[in-house]
Amino acid sequence: MSYRRQTWMWTQACEALSQAERLRQQFFHRGRQAAWEPPVDLIQRGAHLQVVVALPGVAPEQVSLRLDDDGLLIEAARSHTLISDAATIHTLEIPYGRFARRIMLPSGAYELKEKFIRDGCLTLHLIKHA
């Protein structure tokens, strides 16, 4: 087998292991009762910090936020969408159940200025105090 083919196979195996670990962490959060952990984007522009959290199927009133010295804690639950017990599941990739996500913020004190859910994403705008 050529070196190039071995390298390609090794890369594919590492990517598969990495994906499996991400799914495990997403669905089986260690040491807590949360069933999954949503992915997050954290973007800072000067004193403005934008947090975008992927929350498909979660209503705004279900989301609990806590901003403290340890960062930002986001908690809620996504209900299962199956309507009938007679349904056959062919693929189930979107997580459901209770989730919690602790986000460590860049150093400083922050204030929540705006929050909204649009297109399945919770967006938070935070301002860093001087």
The least confident of 9-13, 99-103, 126-130 is 9-13
Q: What is the pTM of this model?
A: 0.69
The least confident of 7-16, 48-57, 117-126 is 7-16
Helix (H) or strand (E) holding 92: none
In a domain, 73, yes or no: yes
Condensed to tens digits (0 to 9), the pLDDT of residues 14-57 reads: 777 767 666 655 555 444 466 788 999 999 999 999 999 999 88
**What is the per-residue pLDDT for 39?**
93
In a domain, 81, yes or no: yes
Q: How far is CA 42 from its chain centroid?
A: 11
Q: CB under 8 Å to 41, separation ≥6 — which residues?
A: 50, 51, 52
Q: How far is CA 17 from its chain centroid?
A: 19
In a domain, 116, yes or no: yes
Mean of all residue pLDDT scores within the chain: 83
Confidence grade of residue 80 (pLDDT, cut at 50, 70, 90): confident
For residue 65, the enclosing domain spans 32-128
Q: CB under 8 Å to 13, separation ≥6 — which residues?
A: none
Number of domains in the chain: 1
> Residue-wise over 5-39: b if at least 16 C-beta within 10 A, else e?
eeeeeeeeeeeeeeeeeeeeebbebeeeebbbbbe
Confidence grade of residue 64 (pLDDT, cut at 50, 70, 90): very high
